[in-house]
Structure 1
């Protein structure tokens, strides 16, 4: 038995090293076309629709339909309803995907305003008296963490129902 164990160890030590290295090769060159150092998203100067694709579409999908299977609500034609209830405006900034995104405050304000366009994601759910988000407003709101997303969202959905707003966000809203 001892001989078998020693033979196994010797075979392991004699085997060629693994193909993948644990430590990157410092002499490895960049892939062609990727020689320049990458910029942070907040400094890259991407358009607002590109920022949506990079920061939001992974969960809410490219057209804002969300995914009930992934517990991600639909924004398309619905997200503007949050602006109709107390605390909803702040909620949209504090949602972790927004407040913790790689976007700076001006880009986040632009993204929220882009989402709230009547010809865009929010559609007719946007209130007629909508006031665009500003960089300063986003900076102020973003500093306050959202401690309980499900409970906060449930309260806002209840407030929408009390106002007679139809809840069409693709989720099971039993509250």
Structure 2
């Protein structure tokens, strides 16, 4: 994402960086990026929509200009892996890491810290094993902590009857 390969290539971020490290040419990097987008469409867009806007009516948060704030906290970074839709998706760990990186880059690049480190397969594998019993209080606690640091999140109405 925010790395030398992106600056050299003009765009493409973490997905392109992985392709560049593997020696892929620009066409191959673009093909890999499209594959990651397809994984997002198949595994995430049913709730978060193709454009990342979510559905406030159904309690699904908007990714746009918001989701990148999570990575400012270690617990927020882990949350993105462990949230049920991600942790329980059909994607393997490497694919989930690529989709998480794509989501952050595509929908919320301005919210990423300057020292953002893309997700990797090992990080995803380790965190994914620990599923949340109840994601709602975790999300509310993260929203409060991030807001105190100046990073407001998109509305999250799922489980709003259980707000702290």
Unaligned residue ranges in structure 1 (runs of 5+): 1-44
Question: Which contiguous aligned blocks of 4+ residues in structure 1 show a shift greater than 4 angstroms?
Answer: 172-175
- Greater helix share, 1 or 2? 2
Determine which structure has more spread, i.e. the larger CA radius of gyration.
1
State the alpha-carbon separation in 1 of the partners of residues 87 and 151 from structure 2.
26
Q: CA deviation at 1:110?
A: 0.5
Partner of 1:145: 131
Partner of 1:71: 59
Partner of 1:170: 155
Q: What count of residue pairs does the alignment treat as equivalent?
A: 128
- Whose relative contact order is higher, 1 or 2, with alpha carbons under 8 Å and at least 6 apart? 2
State the alpha-carbon separation in 1 of the partners of residues 104 and 64 from structure 2.
10
| Cα contact 1:76–1:123 (8 A) shared by 2 | no
Unaligned residue ranges in structure 2 (runs of 5+): 1-31
Deviations along 1:104-127, one digit per CA (max 9) or x if unpaired, are 00000100111121xx11221111
Deviations along 1:151-175, one digit per CA (max 9) or x if unpaired, are 00000000011112233x1335876
Partner of 1:88: 76
